[in-house]
Structure 1
């Protein structure tokens, strides 16, 4: 189901809790909502659709990837950039890393690990910040 985008900063600043198999509908809602906003958005976290669970989705160019309970385990190549967000007006300065490694569960709750670079790494970092309640 396509969900409304949350713009309430007090809600967005809350830390998300771990997701489990009971949260499968959140994954589908994120897929549907990202697809509906694909002309202006490349990634989302569950709090952006009103759910405080640790689930993100992004499209790095090869289709949508879901990460459940992602943890960034390695960061290389620090840089500063400006980012926008579908949930917030304008852009904000933030620090990102050119390369990251992430441990997560896929949409079938299978453990995965991946290495991501450049723009895809930036998207994942942005969405993981959402899970921590950081306003970007």
Structure 2
């Protein structure tokens, strides 16, 4: 199943998502559907809130960026119940985009190194460290399960300048190659 992508203005994007366990009904199919939805929309990652489910689950397949970022070669993972524990004090600023904020790309300042605890789709536990662009991609998806969007890191003037675009997104007044869902 291909889900519509929830866009800016929908309240599910602002909720802190809840943890799940291995008994979460339909989890295997949900993960498969999230991959399909992400690929259909040409995304690198997708978090469950972006398909209207406020649970601590996100998927990332960043292999497509391996030519520019060799560390992303073969990087395809499912993150369940993730918790970022450590953020290095060195920050880097790089442009980001988001399926829930289509047609908006802005530079976002993020910590360059993270440590994350999570479970995979089989509920195996991991604690791993990432840096560079890999850390950025993970933080972006992690923000979704924390009820944050990358525009939250922009200064007030920049957010003000995006207000017109954000209003059009919230009203669904955009044309995309993927289906979207707006707040009702």
TM-score class, shorter? 0.7 to 0.9
Contact 1:104/1:112 (CA < 8 Å) preserved in 2? yes
Partner of 2:77: 65
TM superposition score normalised by structure 1: 0.88
Which range moves more in the overlay, 72-81 or 51-60?
Answer: 72-81
1:63 to partner: Cα distance: 4.5
Distance apart, 1:110 and its partner CA: 0.8
Q: CA deviation at 1:47?
A: 0.6
- Residue 12 of structure 1 and its aligned partner are, at CA, apart by 1.0
Structure 1 stretches of 4+ with a deviation exceeding 4 A read none
The alignment partner of 1:85 has SS state of coil
SS at match of 2:83: strand
2:34 & 2:59 partners in 1: Cα distance? 7
Single out whichever of 95-104 and 73-82 deviates more from structure 2.
Answer: 73-82
State the 1:93 CA deviation.
4.3
Report if the CA contact (8 A) 1:82-1:94 is conserved: yes
1:35 and 2:35 matched: no
**How far is 1:36 from its partner?**
2.3
- Whichever structure has more strand as a proportion of its residues is 1
Deviation of residue 8 (structure 1)?
Answer: 4.3
Structural RMSD (CA): 1.7
Q: What number of residue pairs does the alignment pair up?
A: 134
Matches within 5 A, 1:1-12: 1-9=1-9, 10-12=11-13
> Would the aligned equivalents of 2:13 and 2:49 in 1 still touch at CA under 8 Å?
yes
Q: Considering fraction of residues, name the structure with more helix.
A: 2
Alignment counterpart, residue 125 of structure 2, candidates 88, 94, 111: 111
Task: Provide the TM-score with structure 2 as the length reference.
Answer: 0.67
Larger radius of gyration: 2
Unaligned runs of 5+ in 1: none
